[in-house]
Structure 1
Amino acid sequence: MTDRRKVPRHDLKLDRLSEREKKKLIVELVKIQNDGTVEVDIARSSPVASELLELHSFEGPPIDIDEAIFSESKKSVPRLKIAMLIVGTRGDVQPFLAIAKRLQEFGHRVRLATHANFKSFVRSAGVEFYPLGGDPRVLAGYMARNKGLIPSGPGEISTQRKQLRAIIESLLPACTEPDIETNAPFRAQAIIANPPAYGHAHVAEALGVPLHIFFTMPWT
């Protein structure tokens, strides 16, 4: 491996490029696949391009690629059908609703699947809704009563088992069934989920689509 610290900056081909040319070069190396994944082809790129990507990984501030650069690259971002599988209370749902609206601004069709009592909340924001099983009040009550890994009583296990079953059985329909109001066909090409949706990984694997799992809050 070459130690880049021993290479004088004035000897690098990269220095002959302007900041805009560097940004454009990165964009030209990026190919967005139909499934939304991003492929970077370094093998067929110039030595300057390889040098740029290599150096950028180790030093200097992040390079912001503005919208004008993307327009110049003439690469279109695929418009995806995205299912968001969100389990929890309103505090869990609301941040994902903001994400859904932002994704819609980029031209994606987003379905936010969550508990039935949030139907009006989601639809009033202009986002497609699909009901998931489970009652957030029951789920929140269970979490409040059972702080550790061991349930506080035998009845708690039965309660939580019923909730999990209802949630898990509703996940695949949420990603494949038509809209419940317009009957417009829907099949998720990507899934976003918070961890309490439980079966998200299995549904993504069954459909062969990418999955992004995250909380919108610190979690330990």
Structure 2
Amino acid sequence: MHVMLMTYGTRGDVQPFVALGRGLIQKGHRVTIAAPERFAGFITDHDLEFTPLTDALIALMDDPQFARASDPKASTFQKLRSLLAIGKKARGLQDTLLDDIFRAIEQGKPDVIVFHPKTFGALPIGRHFGIPVVMAQLIPSFIPTGDYPHMGIPDLGGKGRLGRSYNLLTGKLMYRLLNATLRRHICRWAARRNNGINARDLDIVKSCQSGAIRIIHAFSNAVINRPKDWPKHATVTGYWFLDGTAQTNPPDPAVQNFVERHKNLIYIGFGSMPGNDPTAMAEMIAKAISQSGGSDAAAIVATGWGGMRDINWPDNVLAVKEVPHDWLFPKVDIVIHHGGAGTCAAALRVGRPSIIIPFFGDQPFWTKRLHKLGVSPRPIKPEKLDATLLAEQIQTVFKTPSYRNNAERISQEITGENGIKTAIAQIAAAVKNSDGT
């Protein structure tokens, strides 16, 4: 079986699909990953076939407007203006992405397509070519539920029938709005390209709810329990972790030596989030580490997110561009991060508590989940972040064993799952059902 895995976004959007691809290969399947061109080496290094999608939309993260939109010090008006400017640029680039998706599917001729919602064009294009499709989600979206509100809507904490009704309504409203936007964009693209794609009846939400699309969710039931009001074809598989590869190799000797020499070790990294003042951030981090544990505390800081590369760090802080999470996290005591799905999963997998500063997108949603699970104190708002507050939270986590205990309990549940195996079974079932067998 030739499986095309199609994803878009940052490393956190790509790595789980690489893990799934490795699992499929081990089962004897042929796998092609369609992803942003910048990940070509990462994907082919894992012996997976690769077909490129444009980098242009991801490059918007390097745009000064993106930095302003995520700047905690910016006013609401400034953030809104920046977001509108980015949105305008993104709309013009979506056609290029859809062109690449069309080309990848037309040339690859896979037996089944497993697509990330960011590559939503795979649904009508795959159907155009008569190829079964499976939606793969790293976050719970597109299926309304009474268990929790849509992640873009405030959680009022309501209980009982009224609370569930509110949650369900937020999901229906937001998904309908998103669905209409996607359909309109596909229709305009198809009309301009005159490629025969019929998207007038595209209804991703209806397809999700009716069972026309099988949906696999790559997170753990221990973190988000599968809602009982979801349709039966929507599965929570467990996380897709990339194991047994170069990703788990030890980093350079300097990092290993630092880890061996220090206790009360902390990891600090904010993924792909931009940094507007790297020097001020570095000074704040160094001060917080000093205040939190004196000479006993130490930190490894991943600087790739915000340009903190040419800083004169104190001896108890080691700055690295990046370091494998699955190698480092078991060796630290606290993970301080932005609440990205991948970092949350990596910390939970090894039973480490988190301190989270969420910026936007799905980050506040995951932050709330981890706080509710008792593995993280209340999140720090980016605009409130300073050395004193961060040091206080570090001290709280060190002095409160329940954070570590809860994380270790959840780790055991995650370890008992086999997300990749479950996902592969769902993909195979989708192909079998499409054949009418």
Q: TM-score range by the shorter chain?
A: 0.5 to 0.7
Aligned to 2:130: 208
Contact 2:126 2:132 in 1 (8 A): yes
1:152 corresponds to 2:74: no
1:19-62 deviation per Cα after TM superposition (whole angstroms, max 9, x unaligned): xxxxxxxxxxxxxxxxxxxxxxxxxxxxxxxxxxxxxxxxxxxx
Partner of 1:111: 32
The AA in structure 1 aligned to 2:96 is A
Report the 3-state secondary structure (helix = DSSP H, G, I; strand = E; otherwise coil) of the residue aligned with 2:114: strand
Relative to structure 1, is the Cα distance of residues 140 and 86 closer, same or farther in structure 2, using a 3 angstrom cutoff? farther
Kindly indicate whether residue 51 of structure 2 is the aligned counterpart of residue 130 of structure 1: yes
CA distance in 2, matches of 1:85, 1:161: 20
Query: CA 1:151–1:167 in 2, change beyond 3 Å: closer, same or farther?
Result: farther
Classify the secondary structure of the residue corresponding to 1:152.
helix
TM-score (norm 2): 0.28
Deviation at 1:174, TM superposition (A): 1.1
Structure 1 residue 198: deviation in Å?
A: 2.2
Q: CA RMSD in A?
A: 2.7
**1:96 corresponding residue in structure 2:** 17
Counterpart of 1:164 in structure 2 is 94
User: Is the partner of 1:173 in helix, strand or coil?
Assistant: helix
Provide the C-alpha distance between the structure 2 equivalents of 1:167 and 1:139, rounded to a whole number of angstroms: 16
Secondary structure in 2 matching 1:212: strand
Cα deviation digits, residues 91-120 of structure 1 (max 9, x gap): 110011000111111111110000111000
What SS does the corresponding residue of 1:214 show, helix, strand or coil?
A: strand
How far residue 124 of structure 1 moved from its aligned partner, in angstroms, is 0.4
Counterparts of 1:8-87 in structure 2, within 5 Å, are 80-87=1-8
Q: What amino acid is the match of 1:152? A: R
1:118 alignment partner, SS class: helix
The 1-side partners of 2:117 and 2:30 are apart by 22
TM-score, structure 1 normalization:
0.53
Local SS of the residue matching 1:97: helix
Where structure 1 has 5 or more consecutive residues not aligned to the other structure, the ranges are 1-79, 178-185
Query: Which residue number corresponds to residue 224 of structure 2?
Result: none
Match of 1:27 in 2: none
State the AA in 1 paired with 2:98.
Answer: I
Deviation at 1:143, TM superposition (A): 7.2
C-alpha distance in 1 between matches for 2:61 and 2:18: 20
| Amino acid in structure 2 at the alignment position of 1:97 | V
Aligned counterparts of 2:120 and 2:62: Cα–Cα separation in 1: 16
Q: Would you say the 8 A contact 1:86–1:113 is kept in 2?
A: yes
Q: Which structure has the greater CA radius of gyration?
A: 1
Say which SS state the counterpart of residue 113 (structure 1) adopts: strand
Report if aligned partners of 1:192, 1:212 keep a CA contact under 8 Å in 2.
yes
Q: Please say which of residues 209-218 and 153-162 is displaced more in the overlay.
A: 153-162
**Identical columns (%):** 24
**CA separation of 1:152 and 1:130: change in aligned 2, threshold 3 A:** same
Q: Which moved more, 1:190-199 or 1:155-164?
A: 155-164
Q: Is the 8 A contact 1:115 1:134 kept in 2?
A: yes
1:166/1:139 CA distance change after superposition, 3 Å: farther
How far, CA to CA, are the matches of 1:170 and 1:213 in structure 2? 18
Cα contact 2:36–2:52 (8 A) shared by 1: yes
Aligned length: 132
**Pair 1:196 & 2:126 matched:** no
**Cα distance 1:97–1:140, how it changes in 2: closer, same or farther (>3 A)?**
farther
What do the CA deviations read for 1:124-169 (whole angstroms, capped 9, x no partner)? Answer: 01100000124323258677738x9x96355333311123112111
**CA distance in 1 between partners of 2:60 and 2:23 (Å):** 30
**Residues 60 and 86, structure 2, Cα contact 8 Å, conserved in 1:** no
Alignment correspondent of 2:361: none
Structure ranking higher on relative contact order (CA contacts 8 Å, 6+ apart)? 1
